Amino acid sequence: MPPNRVKGDFTVTSFGYPTPKERTMSNEPPDNKIEEWNLKKSQGILEDAHGHLPVGCRRSPAQDTHHDLPHRDASPTEAREVDGHPGGLHLVGKDVKTALDAIDKIRGLVGGIVTEIPQVVLVGDQSSGKSSLLSAIAGINLPRGGSTCTRCPTNIKTSEGPAWECEVSLHISFSYDQTKKATARSYHFWAQNPTTDVVPFKTIREESELEDVLKWAQIALLNPSISPQEFVPDSNLENVAFLQHKQLRENNAVKEQAVYSPNVIAISISAPGLPALSFFDLPGLIVSAASDQYLPEAFRTMTREYVRHEKSLIICAMAMHIDPQNSTARLLIRQERAEHRCVGVLTNSDRVTDTSEYTEILQGHEYKLKHGYFITRQPGPDWKTPPGPQYHQFAREYETKFFEESRLWREGAEWACFRDRCGTEVIQKYLSKTFVGLIYSCIPEIHSTVLEELEKVEHELSSLPKVNDKAQVTVRTRLNSLENGLRGLLDNSSNVFHSQWKELCNQFSKALDAMRPMCDCAHPSDKQVKPTIYELDSDSCGEGASPVKTSPVKLVKRSGEDLGNIISPKKTKLAPKEETSPTLSLPIYRRPGVDVDEWRKANTRSKGDLGPFWEPYTDWGKGMMTLSTLKTEISKQIPAGVPDGSLDKIKREYALQSVARWDAPLQTFLAATFDILSATFQQQLDTDIKREYNETEFYKRSQAIIASFLKRSKETLHDQTMRLFKVEKSALFTMNNASFENHKKRALEWFKGRRRMARIEAYCQVYPTPAYTKALTFSQGDPRREEFMAEVYSKFKMDKLGEDKFQSEIALASYIRAYYMTARQRFCDSVCAAVNAHLIDDMFKALEYYVQAELKIDEGGEVRCQELLAGNAKVVKRRMELEDNRKRLQESLDWIRKLRQDSSADVLDTTMKDGE
């Protein structure tokens, strides 16, 4: 097996002494290195491919340049010196401080938009020594021991400051709920809050106080119903509640409310020269719990949440006295596919019993991790040195002595070849170098984020007003352009407005045509057959069309009735009583209970190209006249014994009633006209003013003035056109007799044709012809049905029916229709002409210098224009904020460029190329 083994997307390196086969393969020298290789072999210092020596071989001081452990010079403080450098967190971050300082500078410039730097997450099984390991790496004292084991996440964040100081706070993201059951991504007894509350706990300036403060911070989280302030340690004995809680726990007289908590203890440490780092210590994973069965899964859920953080470097602690196959933490990391972000640390190295399996691990053959494994030996509970300023110094000396004297690690022993990965300081140095790559890998993302934010700032700035020292020139220039543009919209017949308005005029004409009065040409006396009602679509062939060639009359099928039964006269139901005269003042298109939306659903075919005029009022003419009502009215108007009485009153009432609802389409026409005007005016306003002065009073006032102008123009035009409408509905009048006679002739032909078809239809229902019977076998709309009905109409002999007794009524209906069509054309032309004249003449002239006058530019001059352009204080303040943000973002880009140009940052160059 070769020494470098690939798994996934990373290489697992064999850090241990190779097998005989590997030794032979890896130590095979190239041709030009034979003499050097033989010399080293004769001196007994032949290294393998990874720089490892055979068992029993050590380098001389002159030979050992990067594998030796650092010398230790004791200092009386916790931040001891090692090889001239501070220890603890200073040692962890010494190689990345330059890059972190630059990133902190960028974060200071642009606030929270920059991605946070990578963090270390420490995981392991319970009693694997991970908290002791974190204490050693960070150089601080964390609570340890069976009674104070980790029961909630602890986050250690470091930063530079003038003196050592530590702020401990509680980050409350979950509420305790004893009814809450766990799910795949939630916790037993804990419910997620919508926000995180940060509760300050205590600030200390003596490192010796930290361990006790952290112990009580955890107790506070495990008692969520009690105020955290009751658990704050108080050396002055002023916190009475704390003293009571302390006494209860010393006497074992109380039990914590919760066994664990997903809420976080946040430890923020600042000190001179301290880099910005982040560590998370999580509760140890357990396989089972005697009383709290939910606890193992809760800890696994918590660990998964932190392990899945893609920018986390995971330290997996594994105790060497435990079979590695039973490590819950290692198994979880494998399940989450996080081996490429994981550093293995083997603890309890003094308690190992079976070396064979751990030899395989150290050689990289089993349980492979990208960063391999390190070994540490932390003092146990029986160690005599108490926590204090020199605790970690003595602990490192203790650790070094252990590896020098241990039967497995000392010179010439079985695992002596792994000494270059032993000890806390080796781990600290490796973390430092690994952080270089992780931190620099964030630079492309930071660069992209800063560019995106800068683009947002530039975009928002472009929409805000600029400071202008020639405000009056700017305002007058913009207003002149606006007013000329608005007048051009009204004057230029080829522009968008006039094109839309021309279409609106055509729709207005079609809506009036759809409202023409119609007559039901069937009568109950036509062989006692229910009359056929002709809908609008059956009366839309145009007035010049031949009535015989139109669509056949539609049979109205009653619910549950077979059309075949209609053929038998015995089964034909009697027609209803003759209709009475309609109340002419009743708006037919708005009968009680008619809903506009329901009407539209039922009349989709009538929409056509009516546009905004597709309203129920277009049904105004439907059912306005029937032969029954006309006959009744005629009988009322002609006295008995007068064979040819005058019908002028009936004609006048019906003709005026037919135009009585023109006010509805007129209102639609005016509203739609000014909707088009408003939209086109707004487009012109956007072009000339809004684009650069959106948030200024200049734009807001101009917009309000134009809206007011249009409103007054609409009111004026409404009054003018309503006068035209009132003239039409007040009296019958026309001088265009030729047009009237032409319309009457067409209407008479139309109604006669419809009357003939209705009589034939009624006759055939009682005495069906073969063609009629055949037609009934096809559904409505089927061309074959229309073909057979056309044959019925064309071959029918009208002498079978005799003379029509409703000729007077048909003539009356034709007169009413003729007057309507004559008045419709006149009214439509008059209204459109009035609107057109008002737009082109009145509004065109009124717009000249109108906006400038309303803004009082002449009265206020430069001062007034400055006020209009400046906008309100909020807008001015926002512009200043954005300009400052832009400056900061541009400065942060300069820092990023400096980082990229740093010739000493080889990792950065590689990372940036990969990121780009």
> Predicted confidence band at 883 (pLDDT cuts at 50, 70, 90)?
confident
Those residues whose C-beta lies under 8 Å from the C-beta of residue 247, and which sit 6 or more positions away, are: none
pLDDT at 722 over 70: yes
Place of tokens 């060639």: 549
pLDDT for residue 83: 40
pLDDT at 324 over 80: yes
Could you list the beta-strand ranges (E) of 75-230.
81-82, 85-86, 119-124, 154-160, 165-176, 190-204
The per-residue pLDDT for range 691-719, each reduced to its tens digit, is 888 878 888 889 999 999 999 999 999 99
pLDDT at 636 over 70: yes
pLDDT at 370 over 80: yes
Asked if residue 455 lies in contact with residue 114, where contact means CB atoms within 8 angstroms, the answer is no
pLDDT for residue 472: 81
pLDDT at 55 over 60: no
Residue percentage of the chain with pLDDT more than 90: 25
User: Which uninterrupted H or E stretch holds 214?
Assistant: helix 210-221
Instruction: Round the CA-based radius of gyration of the chain to a whole number and report it.
Output: 48
DSSP letter (8 states) at residue 2: -
Angle (CA) 432 433 437, round 5°: 115
Those residues whose C-beta lies under 8 Å from the C-beta of residue 777, and which sit 6 or more positions away, are: none
pLDDT at 47 over 70: no
> Predicted confidence band at 806 (pLDDT cuts at 50, 70, 90)?
very high
User: Which uninterrupted H or E stretch holds 73?
Assistant: strand 72-73
pLDDT at 529 over 80: no
Asked if residue 364 lies in contact with residue 13, where contact means CB atoms within 8 angstroms, the answer is yes
CA separation for the pair 478, 569 (Å, rounded): 82
Look up the pTM and report it. 0.47
Tokens matching residue 132: 């002791």
Phi-psi bin for 83: left (phi > 0), alpha (psi -120 to 50), beta? Answer: left
Those residues whose C-beta lies under 8 Å from the C-beta of residue 467, and which sit 6 or more positions away, are: none
Ranking 311-315, 616-620, 839-843 by mean pLDDT, the lowest is 839-843
**Residue from 418, 320, 431 nearest 363 by CA:** 418
Those residues whose C-beta lies under 8 Å from the C-beta of residue 67, and which sit 6 or more positions away, are: 51, 59, 420
277, burial (CB in 10 Å: exposed 0-12, middle 13-18, buried 19+):
buried
Asked if residue 535 lies in contact with residue 618, where contact means CB atoms within 8 angstroms, the answer is no
pLDDT at 554 over 60: no
Tokens matching residue 846: 């009124």
CATH 3.40.50.300 residue spans of the chain? 86-150+285-434+898-908
CA separation for the pair 871, 463 (Å, rounded): 12
pLDDT at 443 over 90: no
86 CB neighbour count, 10 Å cutoff: 21
527 CB neighbour count, 10 Å cutoff: 17
pLDDT at 36 over 70: no
> Predicted confidence band at 274 (pLDDT cuts at 50, 70, 90)?
confident
pLDDT at 54 over 70: no
The per-residue pLDDT for range 75-116, each reduced to its tens digit, is 333 334 444 435 566 666 555 666 666 776 777 777 666 656
DSSP letter (8 states) at residue 426: H
pLDDT at 725 over 90: yes
Amino acid sitting at position 529: V
Mean pLDDT for the chain overall = 76
Structure-derived torsion over alpha carbons of residues 896, 897, 899, 901, reported in degrees to the nearest 10: 170
CA separation for the pair 826, 736 (Å, rounded): 10
Q: Of 194-198, 542-546, 820-824, which has the strongest mean pLDDT?
A: 820-824
> Can you state the angle between helices 807-837 and 737-766, rounded to 10 degrees?
130
Range 86-150+285-434+898-908: architecture per CATH:
3-Layer(aba) Sandwich (3.40)
pLDDT at 602 over 90: no
pLDDT at 493 over 70: no
pLDDT for residue 616: 86
Partner residues linked to 170 by β-bridges: 199, 265
The per-residue pLDDT for range 5-33, each reduced to its tens digit, is 333 333 333 333 333 333 333 344 444 44
pLDDT for residue 750: 93
> Predicted confidence band at 393 (pLDDT cuts at 50, 70, 90)?
confident
pLDDT at 505 over 90: yes
pLDDT for residue 518: 92
Between these two residues, 872 and 366, which has the higher pLDDT value? 366
pLDDT at 536 over 70: no
pLDDT for residue 864: 79
CA separation for the pair 753, 745 (Å, rounded): 12
Asked if residue 654 lies in contact with residue 816, where contact means CB atoms within 8 angstroms, the answer is yes
Average pLDDT over residues 632-651: 76
524 CB neighbour count, 10 Å cutoff: 18
pLDDT at 606 over 80: no
CA separation for the pair 762, 250 (Å, rounded): 109
**HSE of 698, CA atoms in CB hemisphere, 13 A:** 34
Amino acid sitting at position 182: A
Ranking 393-407, 598-612, 665-679, 695-709 by mean pLDDT, the lowest is 598-612
**Residue from 715, 680, 671, 691 nearest 492 by CA:** 680
> Predicted confidence band at 290 (pLDDT cuts at 50, 70, 90)?
low
pLDDT for residue 643: 59
Between these two residues, 881 and 759, which has the higher pLDDT value? 759
Asked if residue 317 lies in contact with residue 130, where contact means CB atoms within 8 angstroms, the answer is yes
